[in-house]
């Protein structure tokens, strides 16, 4: 299902510029506009899917590998000493942007960040 007004499709196609921006054949990663912690980054497939369940298996494996690369990079860049991976799937679980994406949230001792989702208190 395509969505021509999808903000993450526009970012993936570089119609909206983001920096820092990481890219592979099928994925992009860029900073969350409302970060919960420094370096909070989103990994987004270039193709429009809504949830994890819509992503074909092979691409899902590729996505996890790309998440690992980006997380490693964030650690190297000293954004955190560890990190959380979060994925909200559908509205009831807190998904606001209906283009599948994985959050990487770098963590530091005592940062006070509470996850899993921004919804539900
Ligand atoms: P979710 O609740 O998992 O759908 O998260 C959507 C995330 O996308 C939120 O953390 C937003 O801050 C972030 N976001 C929405 N629009 C943009 C944008 N244009 N650029 C960067 N991040 C965005
Ligand atoms: Zn999209």
Looking at domain 7-107, which CATH architecture does it have? 2-Layer Sandwich (3.30)
User: Is any atom of ligand 1 closer than 6 Å to the C-beta of 86?
Assistant: no
CB distance 41 to ligand 1 below 6 Å: no
Alpha-carbon distance 117 to 94, whole Å?
Answer: 6
Q: Which ligand is nearest to the CA of 9?
A: 2
Please tell me the distance between residue 9's alpha carbon and the centre of ligand 2 in angstroms.
Answer: 4
User: Is residue 20 reached through a cis peptide bond, with omega within 30 degrees of 0 on the bond before it?
Assistant: yes
| Residue owning the nearest CA to atom 20 of ligand 1 | 33
Q: Band of the pLDDT at 118, cuts 50, 70, 90? A: low
Closest ligand to residue 85's CA: 1
| Average pLDDT score over the chain | 93
Q: Going by C-beta distance under 8 Å and a sequence separation of 6 or more, which residues neighbour residue 115?
A: 36, 84, 86, 105
DSSP letters, 26-55, are SEEEEE-SS-SSTT-EEEEESS--SSGGGS
| 37-93 pLDDT tens trace | 999 999 999 999 999 999 999 999 999 999 999 999 999 999 999 999 999 999 999
């Amino acid at each position: 299902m395509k969505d021509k007004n999808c903000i993450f499709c526009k970012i993936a196609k570089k119609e909206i510029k983001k920096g820092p921006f990481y890219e592979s054949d099928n994925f992009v990663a860029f900073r969350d506009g409302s970060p919960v912690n420094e370096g909070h980054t989103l990994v987004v497939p270039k193709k429009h899917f809504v949830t994890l369940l819509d992503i074909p298996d092979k691409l899902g494996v590729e996505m996890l590998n790309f998440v690992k690369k980006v997380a490693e990079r964030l650690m190297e860049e000293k954004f955190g000493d560890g990190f959380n991976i979060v994925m909200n799937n559908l509205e009831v679980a807190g998904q606001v942007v209906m283009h599948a994406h994985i959050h990487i949230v770098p963590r530091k001792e005592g940062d006070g960040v509470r996850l899993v989702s921004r919804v539900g208190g």
